[in-house]
Amino acid sequence: MEALRFQVVGEAFKKKPLDVEAPSERPAVYFGRKVFDRKKMQAYLPKDIYEKMVEVMDHGAHLDRQVADAVAASMKQWATEQGATHYTHWFQPLTEGTAEKHDSFIERDERGCMVEDFSGKLLVQQEPDASSFPSGGIRSTFEARGYSAWDPTSPVFIIDDTLCIPTVFISYSGESLDYKAPLLKALQAVNKAATDVCHYFDPGVKEVTSNLGWEQEYFLVDEGLYAARPDLLLTGRTLIGHESAKNQQMEDHYFGAIPERVAAFMKELEIVALELGIPCKTRHNEVAPNQFEVAPIFEDANLAVDHNMLLMSLMKRVARKHGFRVLLHEKPFAGINGSGKHNNWSLSTDNGVLLHAPGKTQIQNLRFAVFIVETLMGVYRHNGLLKASIMSASNAHRLGANEAPPAIISSFLGKQVSELLDHIENADRNNVLSMDGKQGMKMDIPQIPELLIDNTDRNRTSPFAFTGNRFEFRAVGSGANCASAMIALNSAVAEALIDFKRRVDERIPALERELASTDHTPKYHAIIEVLREDIRTCKPIRFDGNGYSDEWVREAERRGLDVEKSCPRIFEQYLAPESVHLFECLRVMNQKELAARNEVKWETYAKTLQIEARVLGDISQNHIIPVAIEYQGKLLRNAERTNGLFPAEKARRLNARILHRIEEIAERTSEIERLAEALSAAQSQAEKAEDAHRRALAYHDEVEPLFAPLRCQIDKLEQIVDDALWPLPKYRELLFLR
């Protein structure tokens, strides 16, 4: 028994970093080598077809059969030159991962001979069996048929021998069964709404892109140690484990030198990521021991989401090559930081203007204020929904558990932008906008430096912080598909912008009459009036203080913000009337799709807790209790021997300590038995709930509360049982061996 844990620990010690063979070219040369990007498309396609394809990619033009066939043929040619033999529609079902079903290019031709073929029909649409993917009610109502349809805006790429084609996944009757379909619709909605608002300032704007730059945090654990922990293996997190004497208190890990074996992993990950066109830029150690981060340069949100999904699967593969397992769970270890995935988000125009960055002129700064305030309006109106969009059974351990960020969505703007908004709000209307002789219009809007990125003015606890030229949505979980957050955020902001424009337009005619005799521009007056209204309305979402304090919870409740902490109740926000209205008006999702997706969310939540409860029960019964009893026996034998060796009085004194320990073990063991039984009973009861929603609530309210007391007893035993007997790798080993 004793040998097992030390064997795996010993193996971990012996691991040497794997030498990574770097490509002979520079990164800029091998970047995108495995992607059929525009440059390759141009080289492989006739000019007229390429131009039609650009129209499809950039402006959603109709894709006709002839173009699809030509594009498919060119993709096949390029892919087979790279050694590919298979292709797959690559999609993002509601499981958080990606799915693929590989088919080879081989076909029989009319003579019965084998040829390799790939038609436009196969490129554009496929029919994978949808019945094994979560789809909520939609599956039963609409049978198993699901279609995957090509997303021409995200380029195809090769992994190993397979050409991967990013697709949406929809049901037979058109309901979304994935993340990409609603994301594309939300991005379209914000594009339209933001472009319309931009026209007040620049009629030349044709398109607005939603940008996403994610920062992926993760832990690495030695593969042998991982395999010896049933909880890590089956749930992705440790369900037990006493904290290590040393953890992150020295703050010596953050930005520290990257350990050799980890560096080798990172190096290889970057090479494969760059080859696949993922613009990885930054890598560093994170705050907790064995925690790290990788971040690319931001991209259009749809592509950025695909790249993040791809990177997460690459991380898992590359980690194993280096004898590691990557943990993408939001809270793999108690007592130290969990992992998030900050979503840096902004809007920008096709003519190169970053709408969330301050500009040089007064008009540009007015536009900046509009986009800041309308973003806040969206976040304010839908703060509960935004929280639901990032919530999961695993992220619940991070949010609201006294760790950045809290489970209340609020926004930090920093001093300068706050002052700008206060100024616009409080200034006299006629002073805010006045004519300045021949100079033209003059606005009393304070100048703000273009470069606002100031580290002293950062609030690390804010879930939605303005960071100079973008907002950073920090509540997103490390294992999540960013699309969920991006669907909610872009939809909420689209709605705010549409509403803003409607009110500005309504005001313009009256202002035109009022200002007819002056040189004033009614349009800008109208904008400022509506802006002032909105600055006042969305004030409750602005919070620059300490997000962890209890006062903030009370204050936020007073302000009408959503302070719910229970994960299954937070999901209910998706079905709140204002959420349904938002998604239906923008045609992102309808009520039926939302209801179906919530079924999946509740179901997933309940299943996650079911597995955790079972694993915790197993560990208690099969690992902990036997070891505790064995150690108890050892102590008992010891006590017996003492009795024979020493006179009665002395033996009694000597044994008092041993007996005390035996007693403690007995008490804790019986408590573990009792709690494990209670856990099992609560779980059986939860399983009886009539529907997914009630089941999720039962798991949350009745099952989950038993985890902590059970863990507490086990962790106490870990401290007193002989280290040589303890069967599971401990926190110090999981966190400090690399």
User: Could you tell me the smallest distance in angstroms from the CB atom of residue 297 to ligand ADP?
Assistant: 4
HSE toward the beta carbon, residue 660, CA cutoff 13 A: 6
Q: Which is nearer to ligand ADP, 362 or 469 (CB)?
A: 469
Site string for Mg ion, 287-326 (x = CB under 5 A): ----------------------------------------
Q: Residue 559 corresponds to which amino acid?
A: R
Cα four-point dihedral sign 222, 227, 229, 232: positive
User: Which partner, ligand ADP, Mg ion, none, binds residue 400 by CB below 5 to 8 Å per kind?
Assistant: none
Could you tell me if residue 640 is left (phi over 0), alpha (psi between -120 and 50 degrees) or otherwise beta?
A: alpha
Q: Which is nearer to ligand ADP, 452 or 651 (CB)?
A: 452
Query: How many other β-carbons are positioned within 10 Å of the β-carbon of residue 361?
Result: 11
Q: Which is nearer to ligand ADP, 344 or 383 (CB)?
A: 344
Q: Which is nearer to Mg ion, 343 or 713 (CB)?
A: 343
Residue number closest to ligand ADP, CB atom: 213
- What is the residue whose two structure tokens read 């203007």? 353
User: Could you tell me the smallest distance in angstroms from the CB atom of residue 298 to ligand ADP?
Assistant: 3
User: Which partner, ligand ADP, Mg ion, none, binds residue 1 by CB below 5 to 8 Å per kind?
Assistant: none
**What is the distance between the alpha carbons of residues 294 and 315, in angstroms, rounded to a whole number?**
10
Helices 362-381 & 415-426 angle (0-180, nearest 10): 100
With H, G, I as helix, E, B as strand and everything else as coil, classify residue 164. Answer: strand
User: Which partner, ligand ADP, Mg ion, none, binds residue 209 by CB below 5 to 8 Å per kind?
Assistant: none
Closest CA to 416 of 544, 236, 539, 525: 544
User: Could you tell me the smallest distance in angstroms from the CB atom of residue 192 to Mg ion?
Assistant: 29
- Do the Cβ atoms of 703 and 613 come closer than 8 Å? yes
**What is the distance between the alpha carbons of residues 340 and 14, in angstroms, rounded to a whole number?**
31
User: Could you tell me the smallest distance in angstroms from the CB atom of residue 672 to ligand ADP?
Assistant: 43
Q: Which is nearer to ligand ADP, 215 or 718 (CB)?
A: 215
User: Which partner, ligand ADP, Mg ion, none, binds residue 296 by CB below 5 to 8 Å per kind?
Assistant: ligand ADP
Phi, psi of 520, deg, nearest 5: -65, 150
359, with CB counted inside 10 A (0-12, 13-18, 19+), is middle
**What is the distance between the alpha carbons of residues 179 and 184, in angstroms, rounded to a whole number?**
9
Binders of Mg ion in range 337-366 (CB under 5 A):
342
> What are the percentages of helix, strand and coil residues in the chain, rounded to 5?
55, 15, 30
Q: How many residues bind Mg ion (CB under 5 A)?
A: 1
User: Which partner, Mg ion, ligand ADP, none, binds residue 295 by CB below 5 to 8 Å per kind?
Assistant: ligand ADP
Q: Residue 418 corresponds to which amino acid?
A: S
Closest CA to 538 of 417, 382, 390: 382
Q: Which is nearer to Mg ion, 474 or 520 (CB)?
A: 474
Q: Which is nearer to ligand ADP, 374 or 562 (CB)?
A: 374
User: Which partner, ligand ADP, Mg ion, none, binds residue 282 by CB below 5 to 8 Å per kind?
Assistant: ligand ADP
Residue number closest to Mg ion, CB atom: 342
User: Which partner, Mg ion, ligand ADP, none, binds residue 532 by CB below 5 to 8 Å per kind?
Assistant: none
User: Could you tell me the smallest distance in angstroms from the CB atom of residue 215 to Mg ion?
Assistant: 5
User: Could you tell me the smallest distance in angstroms from the CB atom of residue 98 to Mg ion?
Assistant: 25
Q: Which is nearer to Mg ion, 342 or 738 (CB)?
A: 342
User: Could you tell me the smallest distance in angstroms from the CB atom of residue 268 to ligand ADP?
Assistant: 21
Binding site for ligand ADP (CB under 6 A): 211, 213, 215, 282, 295-298, 344-346, 354, 469-470
Helix (H) or strand (E) holding 154: none
User: Could you tell me the smallest distance in angstroms from the CB atom of residue 411 to Mg ion?
Assistant: 15
711 binds Mg ion (CB under 5 A): no
User: Could you tell me the smallest distance in angstroms from the CB atom of residue 255 to ligand ADP?
Assistant: 11
User: Could you tell me the smallest distance in angstroms from the CB atom of residue 547 to ligand ADP?
Assistant: 17
Peptide bond into 405 cis (omega under 30): yes
Q: Which is nearer to ligand ADP, 154 or 346 (CB)?
A: 346
- Do the Cβ atoms of 311 and 273 come closer than 8 Å? yes
User: Could you tell me the smallest distance in angstroms from the CB atom of residue 371 to ligand ADP?
Assistant: 12
- Do the Cβ atoms of 386 and 471 come closer than 8 Å? no
Q: Which is nearer to ligand ADP, 322 or 342 (CB)?
A: 342
CA 49 vs. chain centroid, Å, equals 37
Q: Residue 436 corresponds to which amino acid?
A: D
- Do the Cβ atoms of 337 and 286 come closer than 8 Å? yes
User: Which partner, ligand ADP, Mg ion, none, binds residue 579 by CB below 5 to 8 Å per kind?
Assistant: none
Q: Which is nearer to Mg ion, 342 or 668 (CB)?
A: 342
- Do the Cβ atoms of 566 and 481 come closer than 8 Å? no
**What is the distance between the alpha carbons of residues 189 and 202, in angstroms, rounded to a whole number?**
19
Please give the structure tokens belonging to residue 2: 């004793």
User: Which partner, ligand ADP, Mg ion, none, binds residue 469 by CB below 5 to 8 Å per kind?
Assistant: ligand ADP
Q: Residue 698 corresponds to which amino acid?
A: A
Positions in the binding site for Mg ion (CB under 5 A): 342
